[in-house]
């Protein structure tokens, strides 16, 4: 046993850890671990991660190394650990050293984290010095990305620099045994941020049915009592948002379960430290006003994620069952985060509850849904951003500029893909400014200077124009649906050729037409369009998106010829019908489209569900809500070459409507038809290309009726199915695909 090391021998080791290890309570954890194992040495944050030196007996070092990974703080993400033996120094103590200076490498910036259970206990305990203090936090929770001005993450580099700590807070901050040791936003009522009005005042306003602008973590919310129908409708009128659902905040899980059905995976998502809005099936006949989410079977719900939120519910005379908490913005502009911007919201709110901790970076609430027990991100923002998506390969520094709607951008470095928070619809100057501001900020944080930028082929997108104006970088145009599938591949670690089913509303095609019902065979190098929905003309650009009856007319003319049965469009003003009919006949102001979103629009109108929409995707969302369970019927279609011809389905739908068949059955049979198209399209592509792996991407896959049955059908047909989880299936996810494709193009 001569090779057995002497376990009492003293050694010194240097450990370098990379990942999310700052702002997540990592240093105090290391300190405790070292002390528990009677090791000497030090721990230090740097811009390259955390460095540790530990010295002591072999047994202690081994225990330390094992626990360092196995018992790491919940929010820490350890990506790389390097351990080297170094000469012994004979030191006695273990100390925490000041952060090292920035050296040009990069660290990961932590996301904002919901109030932890211990802090909740602190501010609800009348004997605690933080009793009812709305800005209570510790190393395990609190603001991070929203207050950080620069890295390394230390108090002087945050907006907390304006609040010198009192003696008590300072003592906690300096005590390695304290939960608030080096908690950068540490504060109390004596020294920290304060509200602009007593919380009781806000309780009164909300009870009276007023709309209150409440400053939160990443911006202002507009809040009102969700059980007060008049208040909710008033907020709708002011926001000029007639139907788009509002998110609500409920005080606890029990309250969520009173208004929604909550699966175990949903429960986990609701209480997770990221605390996103979770889309849940609504119960009927609850206290929540129907005006919260009209025409929807689901509602977005979140739990309180700051002490201030908890206090909003803690009032004399009973808690609010739920509050509407919608982003404080004007239509599609970015969320308001500074008091100076409040005048923009002047017509929307009655009262303001603000505070004096500045928001450095605005961040909306994230939105998720669970499927097959896993979180699927719909909007990736607070709690997720700027946490990277880990790729299976290293990449050159690249930028994906994103799309137009739900824009996010993506920066890559090594094997990290760092997606921005939700920027919004790039349709106005304010959002474009937000895009540039965030890009500048993130490039500096992560020390990334992209060598190549990937952008959407649509010449009108502001993200495309921004990319084309950039100096000193290679530029790579990336087809929209190729980007969707590449994004799904990247987050699933796939690099080989796959079958991509990319179904969505709008994406500019390489032939100048509007694509959106696409079967691709692709990898990061390129794609082949193997199939698509049959082209139909789209009349009047954006108007065709707002008015589904235009697509219904176009599909009906395609199925029946120019003499469409008049009674089908009896609801539409005959003059407008004639104008659009003439546009379609003469191909004036029309483009061709293979969009699946527009197909859903057409069917929604043909069955009399909706002729006009007032938010993106409304017709499809309502068609999904209408689809009855347990229907197996479907309509007919043909596949000719690479064209999917649904004329027969349209004719059969019209016949069913005339027969007076229930709209719920027709809606279900229509969904089943699209699902059959997906399975058949993949089968044909497998025959021609010999591929088994299918990636599903695009906004259409946010339709859960469709997703559930499509995944089932594909698996039954023997396919390996890959879906999004960390990155949205909608256009909020394409930046990742653009970055990967652009980097690959630049490499060649």
Residue 141 binding target from Zn ion, Fe ion, none, CB below 5 to 8 Å by type: Zn ion
d(CA 42, CA 31): 8
Q: SS3 for 419-465, per residue?
A: ECCCCECCCCHHHHHHHHHHHHHHHHHHCCCCCEEEEECCCCCHHHH
User: Which CB atom, from 55 or from 731, has the smaller least distance to Fe ion?
Assistant: 731
Count of residues near Fe ion by CB under 5 A: 3
Instruction: List 271's β-bridge partners, or say none.
Output: none
Alpha helices, H only, 156-296: 167-174, 199-207, 229-239, 253-259, 264-271
Q: Are 361 and 218 in contact (CB under 8 A)?
A: yes
User: Which CB atom, from 172 or from 731, has the smaller least distance to Fe ion?
Assistant: 731
Return the residue matching tokens 């003319």. Answer: 557
* Contacts to Fe ion from residues 639-658, by CB under 5 A: none
**364 phi, psi to nearest 5 deg:** -75, 170
Count of residues near Zn ion by CB under 5 A: 10
Residue with smallest beta-carbon separation from Fe ion: 504
* Contacts to Fe ion from residues 9-28, by CB under 5 A: none
* Contacts to Zn ion from residues 169-188, by CB under 5 A: 169, 188
CA proximity to 531, closest of 646, 667, 651, 669 = 646
- Counting other chains too, the contacts that 261-265 makes at CB distance below 8 Å and 24 or more residues apart are 263/370, 263/373, 264/373, 265/370, 265/373, 265/374, 265/375
Each residue 491-510 as x (binds Fe ion by CB under 5 A) or -, in order, gives -------------x--x---
- DSSP letters, 461-527, are -HHHHHHHH-SSSEEEEE-HHHHHHHHHHHHTT--S-EEEEEEEEEEE-TTSSEEEEEEEEE-SS-E
Residue 504 binding target from Zn ion, Fe ion, none, CB below 5 to 8 Å by type: Fe ion
Helices 647-659/548-560 angle, 10° precision:
110
Each residue 99-118 as x (binds Zn ion by CB under 5 A) or -, in order, gives -----------------x--
Q: Does 24 sit near Zn ion (CB under 5 A)?
A: no
Q: Does 119 sit near Zn ion (CB under 5 A)?
A: yes
**Pairing mode of beta strands 474-478, 452-456:** parallel
Residue 702 per-residue DSSP state: G
Residue 139 per-residue DSSP state: T
Residue 658 per-residue DSSP state: H
CB of 191 to Zn ion, least distance (A): 3
Residue 190 binding target from Zn ion, Fe ion, none, CB below 5 to 8 Å by type: Zn ion
Q: Does 154 sit near Fe ion (CB under 5 A)?
A: no
User: Which CB atom, from 143 or from 699, has the smaller least distance to Zn ion?
Assistant: 143
CB of 376 to Fe ion, least distance (A): 16
User: Which CB atom, from 480 or from 671, has the smaller least distance to Fe ion?
Assistant: 480
CB of 695 to Fe ion, least distance (A): 14
CB of 165 to Zn ion, least distance (A): 5
CB of 490 to Fe ion, least distance (A): 16
Please compute, for residue 611, the number of CA atoms within 13 A of its CA located in the half-sphere on the CB side.
11
CB of 117 to Zn ion, least distance (A): 8
Residue 166 binding target from Zn ion, Fe ion, none, CB below 5 to 8 Å by type: Zn ion
Each residue 38-77 as x (binds Fe ion by CB under 5 A) or -, in order, gives ----------------------------------------
Residue 191 binding target from Zn ion, Fe ion, none, CB below 5 to 8 Å by type: Zn ion
User: Which CB atom, from 107 or from 119, has the smaller least distance to Zn ion?
Assistant: 119
User: Which CB atom, from 190 or from 576, has the smaller least distance to Zn ion?
Assistant: 190
**509 phi, psi to nearest 5 deg:** -90, 165
d(CA 710, CA 612): 28
User: Which CB atom, from 167 or from 254, has the smaller least distance to Zn ion?
Assistant: 167
User: Which CB atom, from 300 or from 507, has the smaller least distance to Fe ion?
Assistant: 507
CB of 274 to Zn ion, least distance (A): 15
Q: Does 731 sit near Fe ion (CB under 5 A)?
A: yes
Q: Are 517 and 524 in contact (CB under 8 A)?
A: no
Task: Report the residue count for the chain.
Answer: 748
Window of 163-171, 251-259, 402-410, 443-451 that interacts with Zn ion by CB under 5 A:
163-171
Q: Does 75 sit near Zn ion (CB under 5 A)?
A: no
Query: Of residues 166, 197, 271, 579, which one binds Zn ion by CB under 5 A?
Result: 166
User: Which CB atom, from 310 or from 379, has the smaller least distance to Zn ion?
Assistant: 310
Residue 129 per-residue DSSP state: T
Q: Does 138 sit near Zn ion (CB under 5 A)?
A: yes
Instruction: List 453's β-bridge partners, or say none.
Output: 399, 475
Return the residue matching tokens 């921004």. Answer: 466
Each residue 186-215 as x (binds Zn ion by CB under 5 A) or -, in order, gives --x-xx------------------------
d(CA 547, CA 145): 40
d(CA 245, CA 147): 29
d(CA 551, CA 592): 11
Window of 194-202, 421-429, 542-550, 730-738 that interacts with Fe ion by CB under 5 A:
730-738
User: Which CB atom, from 138 or from 248, has the smaller least distance to Zn ion?
Assistant: 138
CB of 273 to Fe ion, least distance (A): 30
d(CA 426, CA 462): 6
| Residues engaged in binding Zn ion (CB under 5 A) | 116, 119, 138, 140-141, 166, 169, 188, 190-191
Question: Where on the chain is the footprint of Fe ion (CB under 5 A)?
Answer: 504, 507, 731
């Amino acid at each position: 046993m001569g090779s057995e090391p002497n376990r009492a021998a003293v050694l010194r080791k240097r450990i370098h850890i990379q990942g999310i290890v700052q702002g997540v309570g990592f240093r105090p954890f290391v300190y405790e671990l070292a002390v528990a194992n009677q090791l000497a040495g030090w721990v230090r944050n740097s811009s390259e991660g955390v460095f540790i030196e530990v010295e002591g007996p072999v047994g202690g070092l081994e225990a330390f190394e094992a626990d360092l990974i196995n018992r790491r703080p919940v929010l820490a993400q350890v990506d790389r650990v390097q351990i080297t033996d170094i000469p012994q120094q004979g030191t006695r103590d273990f100390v925490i050293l000041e952060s090292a200076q920035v050296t040009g490498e990069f660290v990961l910036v932590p996301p904002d984290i919901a109030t932890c259970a211990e802090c909740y206990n602190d501010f609800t305990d009348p004997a605690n010095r933080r009793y009812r203090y709305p800005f209570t936090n510790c190393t395990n929770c609190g603001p991070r990305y929203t207050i950080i001005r620069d890295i390394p993450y230390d108090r002087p580099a945050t907006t907390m620099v304006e609040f010198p700590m009192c003696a008590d807070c300072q003592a906690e901050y300096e005590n390695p045994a304290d939960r608030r040791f080096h908690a950068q936003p540490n504060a109390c009522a004596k020294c920290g941020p304060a509200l602009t009005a007593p919380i009781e005042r806000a309780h009164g306003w909300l009870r009276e049915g007023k709309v209150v602008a409440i400053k939160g973590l990443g911006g202002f919310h507009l809040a009102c009592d969700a059980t007060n129908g008049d208040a909710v409708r008033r907020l709708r009128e002011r926001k000029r948002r007639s139907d788009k659902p509002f998110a609500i905040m409920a005080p606890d899980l029990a309250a969520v379960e009173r208004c929604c059905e909550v699966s175990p995976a949903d429960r986990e998502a609701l209480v997770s430290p990221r605390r996103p809005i979770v889309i849940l099936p609504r119960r009927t006949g609850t206290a929540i006003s129907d005006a919260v989410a009209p025409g929807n079977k689901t509602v977005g719900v979140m739990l309180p994620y700051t002490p201030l939120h908890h206090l909003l519910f803690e009032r004399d005379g009973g808690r609010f069952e739920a509050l509407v908490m919608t982003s404080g913005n004007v239509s599609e502009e970015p969320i308001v985060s500074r008091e100076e911007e409040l005048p923009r919201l002047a017509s929307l709110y009655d009262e303001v509850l603000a505070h004096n901790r500045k928001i450095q970076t605005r961040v909306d609430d994230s939105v998720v849904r669970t499927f097959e027990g896993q979180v699927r991100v719909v909007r990736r923002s607070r709690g997720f951003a700027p946490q990277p998506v880990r790729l299976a390969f290293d990449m050159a520094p690249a930028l994906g500029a994103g799309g137009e709607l739900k824009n996010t951008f993506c920066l890559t470095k090594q094997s990290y893909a760092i997606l921005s928070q939700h920027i919004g619809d790039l349709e106005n100057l304010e959002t474009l400014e937000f895009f540039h501001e965030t890009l500048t900020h993130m490039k500096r944080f992560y020390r990334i200077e992209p060598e190549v930028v990937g952008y959407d082929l649509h010449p009108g997108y502001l993200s495309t124009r921004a990319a084309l104006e950039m100096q000193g970088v290679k530029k790579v145009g990336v087809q929209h649906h190729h980007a969707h599938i590449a994004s799904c591949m990247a987050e699933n670690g796939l690099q080989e050729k796959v079958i991509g089913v990319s179904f969505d509303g709008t994406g500019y095609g390489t032939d100048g037409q509007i694509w959106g019902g696409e079967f691709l065979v692709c990898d990061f190098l390129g794609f082949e369009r193997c199939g698509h929905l049959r082209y139909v003309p789209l009349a009047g650009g954006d108007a065709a998106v707002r008015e589904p009856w235009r697509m219904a007319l176009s599909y009906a003319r395609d199925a029946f010829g120019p003499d469409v049965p008049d009674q089908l469009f009896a609801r539409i003003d005959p003059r407008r019908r004639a104008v659009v009919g003439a546009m379609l006949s003469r191909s004036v102001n029309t483009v061709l489209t293979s969009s699946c979103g527009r197909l859903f629009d057409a069917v929604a109108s043909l069955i009399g569900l909706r002729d006009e929409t007032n938010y993106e995707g409304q017709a499809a969302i309502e068609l999904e809500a209408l689809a009855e369970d347990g229907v197996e019927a479907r309509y007919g279609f043909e596949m000719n070459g690479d064209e999917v011809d649904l004329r027969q389905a349209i004719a059969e739908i019209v016949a069913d409507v005339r027969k007076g068949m229930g709209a719920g059955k027709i809606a279900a049979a229509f969904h089943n038809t699209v699902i059959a198209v997906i399975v058949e399209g993949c089968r044909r592509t497998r025959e021609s290309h010999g591929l088994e792996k299918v990636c599903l991407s695009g906004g259409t896959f946010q339709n859960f009726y469709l997703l559930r049955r499509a995944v089932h059908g594909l698996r039954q047909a023997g396919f390996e199915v890959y879906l999004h989880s960390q990155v949205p299936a909608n256009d909020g996810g394409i930046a990742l695909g653009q970055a990967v494709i652009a980097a690959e193009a630049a490499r060649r």
